[in-house]
Structure 1
C-alpha cells in the first residue's frame, strides 16, 4: 500500500476515496477515527489519510486529486427561478435547471 495524501477532515477523505475508487484506483481511508486523539498526539498526525492499494497508481491518482481540487468555480443566475448559484455547480439547487451554456 502507498500513502497518497492527508485530508483536512473525514468527510473530504471519504469523498476523495469514493472518487478515486470510481476512477478505478483501489483506495482506503486510514486514521479516520484518530481525530479523537488530538491533544494527545500532534494534530497533523491525526488527520485522515488516503492510501492506495497499488503503488503504481500513485501518479495517476495524484493527478486526479489535483484536478478535483481545482474545479472551476462559477457564479450564475438560474434562468428558470432567478436563484444565484455559486461554486462548482452546473445545476440549480432550487429548481434543478441546468446552467446556461
Structure 2
C-alpha cells in the first residue's frame, strides 16, 4: 500500500476513493475518524488519507484525481435558448440542450 494524498475532509476522501476504486484502482480511506482527536494532534495529522493497494499505479491515480478535481472550464452559448453557460457544464441549465461539439 502507498499513501496517495491527504484529503481536506472525510466526504471528499470517500468520494475520491470510491471513484478510483470504480476505475479499477483499489483505494482505501485511512484515518477516517481521526478528526475527533484534532485537539490532541496537529490538525494536518488528523485528516483522512487515501491509500492505494498497488503502488505501481500511484502516478495513474494522481493523474485521474487531478483531472477529477480540476474539470475543464468552458464558456458557450446554448443553441436552444441563447443562455451563456460558464464552467464544466455540458448541458444548458435553462432548457436542457446539450453543449455543441467542441471543434
Structure 1, unpaired ranges of 5+: none
Q: Within 2, Cα distance between the matches of 1:31 and 1:74?
A: 36
Query: Are the structure 2 counterparts of residues 74 and 28 from structure 1 closer, same or farther at C-alpha, using a change threshold of 3 Å?
Result: same
Q: Within 2, Cα distance between the matches of 1:51 and 1:20?
A: 11
Say if 2:2 is the partner of 1:2. Answer: yes
Structure 2, unpaired ranges of 5+: none
Tell me the C-alpha RMSD between the 2 structures: 2.1
The aligned runs of 1:66-81 (5 Å cut-off) are 66-76=66-76, 78-80=78-80
Say if 2:32 is the partner of 1:36. Answer: no
1:63 corresponds in structure 2 to: 63
1:88 corresponds in structure 2 to: 88
Segment drifting more, 77-86 vs 42-51: 77-86
Query: Are the structure 2 counterparts of residues 85 and 11 from structure 1 closer, same or farther at C-alpha, using a change threshold of 3 Å?
Result: farther
Q: Within 2, Cα distance between the matches of 1:5 and 1:69?
A: 13
Partner SS, residue 28 of structure 2 = strand
1:80, CA displacement in angstroms?
4.5
* Equivalent pairs, count: 101
